[in-house]
Amino acid sequence: MEITIYHNPRCRKSREALSFLKEKSYRVKVVEYLKDLMSIEDLMALLNDLDIRPIELVRKHESIWKEQFKERNLNDTAILEAMVQNPILIERPIVKSKKGAVVARPLERVLEVI
């Protein structure tokens, strides 16, 4: 089974998830979403796979969120646009397989899709 991980190599949780998947000998497709930017359509499809709303995927502790978006009353489209323009706002790691997708926080959530 191929597993896709939306990965930020600077994030400890993301590195732990990737290491876990590799230790289990899964074929892992790594998407470094800070380099390989997602479109709104890509992000919408991922949210659909995760079965969550855009606000649930936002890293609300990021300074850019606090400074530019927190106090605004944003609809889902505006939140999607903010994440596409500022991918650092996207929670990570996201692990996706044929079984579904999860935000792997905590790491044990990976077990839900492998």
Question: What residues are annotated to the active site?
Answer: 11
3-state DSSP: the chain helix, strand, coil percent, rounded to 5? 45, 20, 35
> Which residue(s) pair with 74 in the sheet?
none
Distances (CA, A) of 27 to 18, 22, 44: 11, 7, 25
Distance between CA atoms of residues 18 and 113, nearest Å: 14
